[in-house]
Amino acid sequence: MILPSHWFSLQAVKFSYIAMAERWISGVIEGFYGRPWTTEQRKRLFHTMQELNLNTYVYAPKDDLKHRVEWRSLYTVEESDNLQSIIEEAKRCSVDFCYALSPGYDIVYSSHEEVNLIKKKFEQVKNLGCESFSLLFDDIEESMSDSDKQKFTSFAQAQVSLTNQVYDYLGQPKFSFCPTEYCSAKSIPSLDESDYLHHIGQKLLPGIHIFWTGE
């Protein structure tokens, strides 16, 4: 489920259908661990999605090295050509291709160089025709480097600062964010009392949607 950022700023943090009335985002997230799908499998998926009236595909295979572990590296010419062909096929099937990056594995949030690397990575994919982006911070430890601790008062503040900068740099396109606390079970100490969730709900720019998986 993808929710508007202000949903998390509600005192009781309750679901609101009114908040979702703008547009239902329905589709598939390739965000699993293990062997990623092939190019042809993805293209066949888009045709199936079109038949089912699903409108969004999120590219986030955990074992694509340049999505997660080697997120700083740009795509080669061959990789770019392949990715562009996938994006173009998604468009032909009226599917919004969302490119996601998972830098939380080892990013230094306070580093201008690190932030610029994310901007360059997204810009590279944008030049391939991608119009929708996502930053994912799931399945990581809530820890910061010493330099991060000097600049930010919390893990949430570090993530929000980075995300808002990238979102603005790209011209505020379709954009989503996966929090580290992405479900009730991950919320510390609880869903209602999580300072992390309340901060991202209050401080993420309002055009950014948030992934939420429920319990």
**Residue 170 to residue 67: CA distance in whole angstroms:** 18
Find out whether 162 and 116 touch, Cβ atoms under 8 Å: no
Q: Is 106 a catalytic residue?
A: no
Query: Rg for the chain (alpha carbons), in Å?
Result: 17
Find out whether 53 and 122 touch, Cβ atoms under 8 Å: no
Catalytic residue among 64, 96, 139, 148: 139
Q: Is the dihedral of CA 88, 90, 92, 96 positive or negative?
A: negative
Q: Is the dihedral of CA 171, 62, 97, 177 positive or negative?
A: negative
**Residue 79 to residue 87: CA distance in whole angstroms:** 12
**Residue 14 to residue 33: CA distance in whole angstroms:** 30
Burial (CB count <10 Å: 0-12, 13-18, 19+), residue 50: middle
Find out whether 102 and 67 touch, Cβ atoms under 8 Å: yes
**Residue 148 to residue 192: CA distance in whole angstroms:** 27
> What is the set of active-site residues?
139
